Each structure stands twice: as C-alpha cells, then as structure tokens.
Amino acid sequence: MEKVPEKIRVKRVPKRGIYDKETIYKILDKEFICHVGFVYHDSPVVIPTLYGRKNNDLYLHGSMASRMMKSLKEGIDISISVTRVNGLVLARSAFHHSANYESVVLFGKAYLVEGDEAKNEALKYISDHIIEGRWEEIRQPNAKELKATMVLKIPIEQASAKVRTGGPVDDKPDYELNIWAGVVPFNRVIEAPIPDEKLSGGILVPDSIKNYEELYK
Amino acid sequence: MEKVPEKIRVKRVPKRGIYDKETIYKILDKEFICHVGFVYHDSPVVIPTLYGRKNNDLYLHGSMASRMMKSLKEGIDISISVTRVNGLVLARSAFHHSANYESVVLFGKAYLVEGDEAKNEALKYISDHIIEGRWEEIRQPNAKELKATMVLKIPIEQASAKVRTGGPVDDKPDYELNIWAGVVPFNRVIEAPIPDEKLSGGILVPDSIKNYEELYK
C-alpha cells in the first residue's frame, strides 16, 4: 500500500480511512453542500456552499462580490468537507455511542474559471451535479449574469474519506446489560414538488424532477 | 438595531442574515453534526464532528489522541458551521436557482473541560442534544473512559444565521417562459430501529428512541 501523506491520513480510527478516488468521488456525488474552510485575516472561516464535481475537480460558484469567493480566487489553501450522516449508533455504554456516516475531507487551491464559454460549462457541471437534466430545461445564463458570477475550479490535491457503518461495538461485559442497542437509521426523502405560485397553468413537472424523484425511491 | 460586527455580518444577500440568539440556538438544536475549521501548520482544516449545545456553549468530545481536539484545546481561533438544507429552489433561469437552507456560522475558542464530574456533565449535554433521555438508559462512562475522552467547551463569541425559505424569484420577463419553477423539498426521516444482532431477547425499544421517532412524525 502506498504511503498516505500525513496531511490526509485519518488519525482517529485509522481503519475507517479510505483513500481511493472512486470511494471519494462516490461520497462527493451523493451530496451537493460542502463546508469550505479558509483563513481570512489570520482566522479560520467555515462557510457552507453548493458544489459540483467533474473528474478530479470541484466547482464552486458565487457572486463576484462574495467575500469567500474573492478570498479563494487568490489561490490560498482551502479545506473542504462533505458529510452525510446515515444513522445514530446506540450502544450499551455511553462511551461506544457513535454515528454512521460517510465523509470526505480534501485540500486544494482554487483557480478562477475565465471566459464566458468555460464559465458556462462549469456552471453546467454544478447544475448537473445537483439535479441532472435541469440545465437543458431552463433559460441559461446571459452575458450580464455570467459577468456577475464567479466560478472557481478546485483540483482535488489531497483527499481522504472516512466511513462508519454497522451496529454498535460494546465492551464484552456490557453485552450482559439489560440495555437496548442498535442503530436508528436516517434517510433523506424528497416531498412532492411545490409549484411556484406564479407558475402558468399547464406547465408539467419536468423530466429532471421526475428522474430526481426516482433516485430517492 | 445594534451594529453587527464585521466578522459575522452576512455579506451576500444581507436580508438573509439573522443575529438573534434564539434563531441561532434553534438552528443549532435541529442538527448534531457541525463542521469545525481551524488552522493547522498554517493551513485550514475542516472536520465534521458531533456536538451538543447548552446555553451559549457548544460542546465537542473526542479521543485524547485526536489531532483536532489536541489543536483546539490550545485555545486557537475556531470557526464552526452547522447547515440544514430544506429544498432545491428551481427557477426559470439558471441564475436564480438556489437552495432553501438554515445555517449558522460561529466563531470562538475552546476550553478544556476538566475533572470527572464536569466532563461527565458535558458528555450528558452532548448526549441530550443528540437524543434526549438516552443518557439515563445506558451505562455511563467509567474513570478509564473519561480519562480517554477529551471534552471541549466553546462559548459562542460571535455567530450569525442565514436562512432562505420560499419559492424562486425570477426576472420579470422569464415568467412568460414555458418552464416549470418551484421547490423540491427535502426531509430527513428515521427508519425503524435496527436492533444489534447480539441484543438479548426481550429488550424492548426504549423511550429515548420512541420519543425521537415522535419528533420525526
């Protein structure tokens, strides 16, 4: 096995650490909100934002006036974390309580995506990542909107995933206790789409949403 | 209205910024995973972890050997973000696509909780925050487990919340387009508890889980 760089090596419960790109991409593709960490005026700042993944790059977008975007585009160090929680792990002892989760922590630097065509393509990556097929259904960005939007590409330099699954693991003597133990699983569901109150009559729910609903079935 | 300190003032879409503690606590109390940002060897690091809130303090716990915990206990600057996503906001134009969400970004420093009694109490705060009533049902930490566990208290020095609700807002001419617009709402549900395969027969699902299920109904 290759030596894992210190920066991304999972220190706590190392057996939960995963470094292959396929697993990392799979987790990144399940979510669309990431938490971006950067240093601003010598202090750490963590901000949630939407993202898209395409190949080994994450894409972020935001207003040209965004403090975060303006900071990131200077090529400073960035850490990004994506987390999905799948359940509470309830053990017999307080000490062995845990959560089932899948998370990715990655490090990189941002590059400004420049030029209308490249920006538009990157925005499509984000849109496809969040809800595939939507991009083709909507009015795409005009020159003014592209100008107001900053798009950043973050090649994933270093990344690790951490995954916990399964039931609780208690200390041997605790199995004798008269205490319920197991997992309370979480799931994310989508509810019926709520049409905009200004929606003109006769416009049906589009394929992008129908396909999205299928993913959640 | 009081002047909001620069560090926590919501810059993008300032009307979405909320600074009253009740709203901030309410959002913090809906979730139990936060993303902690700190600076390690001059680089930002973002790590997901469980938390509990009690009064104006967040509590984190982890192994005495955890790199994050060891860094935080030195009293360095910390930023913590908690985010819940409630839906995708699908507009007629790409530009006005958004998400409905509630998030908190806060800043503070950590203090080591010391002494078995204080540690135990703080661990109960975390447990109560995640699933109320569970603490009373389980085998509580012994001296060895307390010794292996680091508990940190983070007084919330500065915090802001950002909330988006409701449907899409499109540019006036786009309302004429033959494009579906609205919201796809998300919900988190819990599924039937999965008993540990080593659970002795006759141990029923406890009140803490029954009450937890009620919260999700």
Domain encompassing residue A108? 6-168
Residue A206 domain-assigned (yes or no): no
Residue A78 token pair: 């960035």
Residue A114 domain-assigned (yes or no): yes
Residue A59 domain-assigned (yes or no): yes
- Quick one: pLDDT band at residue A3, thresholds 50, 70, 90? low
* Percentage, residues of chain A above pLDDT 90: 89
Indicate the helix (H) or strand (E) that contains B104: strand B98-109
Residue B146 domain-assigned (yes or no): yes
Residue B53 token pair: 């809130």
Q: What is the pLDDT of residue A96?
A: 98
Judged by a CB distance cut-off of 8 A, whether residue B74 touches chain A is: no
A19, pLDDT greater than 90: no
* ipTM of model over 0.90: yes
Cβ atoms of B115 and B185 within 8 Å: the answer is no
Residue B178 domain-assigned (yes or no): no
Q: Do A184 and B193 touch (CB under 8 A)?
A: yes
Q: Do A212 and B180 touch (CB under 8 A)?
A: no
Average pLDDT value over all residues in chain A = 95
Q: What is the pLDDT of residue B3?
A: 65
Among A24, A87, A178, residue whose Cα is nearest residue B191: A87
The domain spanning residue B56 has which CATH number? 2.30.110.10
Q: Could you please report the per-residue DSSP string of chain A?
A: -PPPPGGG---SSGGGEE--HHHHHHHHHH--EEEEEEEETTEEEEEEEE-EEETTEEEEEEETT-HHHHHHTTT-EEEEEEEEEEEEEE-SBGGG-EEEEEEEEEEEE-EE--SHHHHHHHHHHHHHHHSTTHHHHSBPP-HHHHHHEEEEEEE--EEEEEEE-S-----GGGGGSS---EEEEEEEEEPPPEE-TTPPTTPPPPHHHHHHHHHT-
Give the number of domains in chain A.
1
Residue among A49, A136, A138, A144 with most chain B CBs within 10 A, to mutate: A138
Give residue-wise pLDDT tens across range B160-185: 999 999 999 999 999 999 999 999 99
B4-7 contact pairs (CB < 8 A, 24+) = B4/B160, B5/B158, B7/A43, B7/B107, B7/B158
Contacts of B181 in chain A (CB under 8 A): 195-196, 198-199
CA distances from B18 to A58, A73, B30 (A): 29, 27, 16
Q: Which amino acid is at A70?
A: K
Q: What is the pLDDT of residue B217?
A: 82
Residue A124 token pair: 């499509």
Q: Which amino acid is at B154?
A: I
Q: How far apart are CA B59 and CA A184, in angstroms?
A: 23
Q: What is the pLDDT of residue A1?
A: 44
Residue A197 domain-assigned (yes or no): no
- Which member of A37, A190, A209 has the closest CB to residue B46? A37
pLDDT < 50 regions, chain B: 1
Chain centroid offset of residue B166 CA: 22
Residue B1 domain-assigned (yes or no): no
Q: What is the pLDDT of residue A5?
A: 78
Residue B96 domain-assigned (yes or no): no
Give residue-wise pLDDT tens across range A151-191: 999 999 999 999 999 999 999 999 999 999 999 999 999 99
Give residue-wise pLDDT tens across range A90-143: 999 999 999 999 999 999 999 999 999 999 999 999 999 999 999 999 999 999
> pTM of the entire structure?
0.95
Residue among B89, B139, B149, B200 with most chain A CBs within 10 A, to mutate: B139
Q: What is the pLDDT of residue B1?
A: 44
Q: How far apart are the first and last CA of chain A?
A: 38
